[in-house]
Amino acid sequence: MRIFNRFRPALAALPLLLIIGCASASAGIATSNVPLGNREYEILGTAETSTSWWSVDLGIIGLPLDAPPVDAAVQKLLSEKGGDALVNLRYSTDRSIFLFMTRHRFHLKADVVKLKPEPARRR
């Protein structure tokens, strides 16, 4: 019985540790979301958005409940400023795990640009 009393605080904390879960994150940058080559463009402004989705994780098997809405985040930034492309992209992802559920978050910040018309080519 003395041994049980010695480990009682650790045993009481175990359910709390299972509920809290854990988290991880990553980040990156990219020059643009489409190849621009030598095309000229006008910067319309900076925009940012965040989106999230859930997945079920059973050990080594992960099953997303929704498709990652990354393309929707890009389209939201483009439509917000009326642009054609994104440049100077900064993104970050993080995930929080709660028992068998994982919440994924995607944050995107970029400069929205409008492409200038290409000059007519001479023949």
Q: Are strands 101-115 and 85-98 parallel, antiparallel or unpaired?
A: antiparallel
Decide if 93 is inside a domain. Answer: yes
Q: What is the pLDDT of residue 18?
A: 54
Decide if 42 is inside a domain. Answer: yes
Structural domain span for residue 109: 21-115
Q: What is the pLDDT of residue 123?
A: 65
Decide if 77 is inside a domain. Answer: yes
This prediction has a pTM of: 0.73
Q: What is the pLDDT of residue 112?
A: 97
Q: What is the pLDDT of residue 11?
A: 61
Q: Give the C-alpha distances (Å, rounded to integers) separating 36 from 8, 85, 105, 113, 116.
A: 63, 9, 28, 11, 11
Q: What is the pLDDT of residue 48?
A: 96
Decide if 76 is inside a domain. Answer: yes
Total tally of structural domains belonging to the chain:
1
List, for the chain, all residue ranges whose pLDDT scores fall below the cut of 70: 1-7, 9-22, 122-123
